[in-house]
């Protein structure tokens, strides 16, 4: 004996009449989650459930066409001051350094070696404002 399959029928075409009936039945009904919030525990559990291999984008990369679409969709949207600051801090690695604390250097890495610091440590000090930097 063959088991019955449960759930929706993939690829099954629903008639316009059936769609209209279902629409009328569900009009005015609120979502079961309306006015509720997920608990911190359930959010963490759901987050962990989709990490690594379980994530649908794991090991994949957006195509060039998709990247262009995403870029176009984001173009013209105003950025908050917080977002601008994050971008500025992210670009610290890309800018050429003129001087650090008044001493001339070719790069942040060269300055870090001079001050006997790791590059990330010097960058952190720059972010905090403990070290003055001039850029080209």
Q: What is the reported pLDDT for 4?
A: 56
- Non-local (6+) Cβ contacts of 92 within 8 A are 108, 123, 126, 127
Task: Look at residue 60 and give its three-state secondary structure.
Answer: coil
For residue 133, the cross-strand partners are 100
Check residue 47 and give its pLDDT: 95
Whole-angstrom distance, CA of residue 70 vs CA of residue 68: 5
The predicted structure's pLDDT at residue 107: 82
pLDDT attached to residue 60: 95
Residue stretches of the chain with pLDDT short of 70: 1-8, 93-95, 136
> What is the model's pLDDT at position 50?
94
Q: What is the pLDDT of residue 64?
A: 96
Other beta carbons less than 10 A from residue 131's beta carbon: 17
State residue 1's pLDDT score.
46
Q: Is 105 in contact with 111 (CB distance < 8 Å)? A: yes
pTM: 0.39
- The pLDDT of residue 3 is 55
């Amino acid at each position: 004996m063959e088991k019955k399959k449960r759930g929706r029928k993939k690829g099954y075409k629903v008639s316009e009449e059936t769609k209209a009936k279902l629409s009328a039945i569900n009009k005015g009904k609120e979502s079961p989650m309306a006015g509720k919030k997920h608990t911190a525990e359930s959010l963490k559990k759901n987050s962990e459930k989709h990490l690594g291999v379980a994530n649908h984008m794991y090991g994949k990369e957006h195509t060039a066409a998709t990247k262009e679409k995403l870029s176009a969709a984001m173009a013209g949207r105003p950025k908050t001051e917080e977002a601008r600051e994050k971008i500025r801090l992210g670009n610290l690695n890309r800018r050429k350094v003129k001087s650090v604390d008044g001493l001339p250097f070719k790069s942040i890495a060269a300055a870090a070696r001079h001050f006997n610091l790791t590059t990330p440590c010097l960058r952190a000090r720059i972010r905090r404002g403990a070290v003055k930097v001039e850029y080209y």
